[in-house]
Amino acid sequence: MVLTAIQFFLCTAALAATLEDGVAAHARGEYEVALGIFLPLAKQDNMAAQYNLGQMYRKGNGTAVDFAEAARWYRLAAAQGDAQSQYNLGVMYYNAQGVPRNFVLSHMWLTLSATSGAESAARNRALLAKQMTPEQISEALQLARSCLQRNFSNCD
């Protein structure tokens, strides 16, 4: 049987899952389905899919807990300006989850997230600053400025 171009398009469209499909599958607890939907979208630079994959790897939903893989997906979404991914990276650097403990990078990511309007990032950054030297804070702020100037490219 030969498919016409229209039939092929309709079949392909029916197979293509959307981000909303992945979110719905995740909400139903169908984590493997959600993972299968988010992964191809994330590989196409879909920021929300990248964030969701970070969440799934961090929490072990549909996969083993893998903080390094979570950080990788958060970093990709953060590079596109996702404030929640930036916040999560800041927390991960503080807690040494999938990345080495680094207060300077933690402060930098929390600063970037706070700049995007995340109130929890500003609060946690203030708490973190109490554990840092003035030199560390100055370095973190300089890194945040540089990161912004490079449009979140190669920030850590």
pLDDT at 51: 98
pLDDT tens for the chain, 156 residues long, are 444 433 333 333 334 789 999 999 999 999 999 999 999 999 999 999 999 999 999 999 999 999 999 999 999 999 999 999 999 999 999 999 999 999 999 999 999 999 988 889 999 999 999 999 999 999 999 999 999 999 998 888
Q: How many CB atoms lie within 10 A of CB 33?
A: 17
Domains in the chain, ordered, with CATH? 18-149 (1.25.40.10)
| Closest alpha carbon to 77 in 87, 68, 86 | 86
SS3 for the chain is: CCCCHHHHHHHHHHHCCCHHHHHHHHHCCCHHHHHHHHHHHHHCCCHHHHHHHHHHHHHCCCCCCCHHHHHHHHHHHHCCCCHHHHHHHHHHHHHCCCCCCCHHHHHHHHHHHHHCCCHHHHHHHHHHHCCCCHHHHHHHHHHHHHHHHCCCCCCC
pLDDT at 11: 34
Angle at 93 between CA 87 and CA 97, to 5 degrees: 105
pLDDT at 12: 38
pLDDT at 4: 40
pLDDT at 156: 82
pLDDT at 110: 98
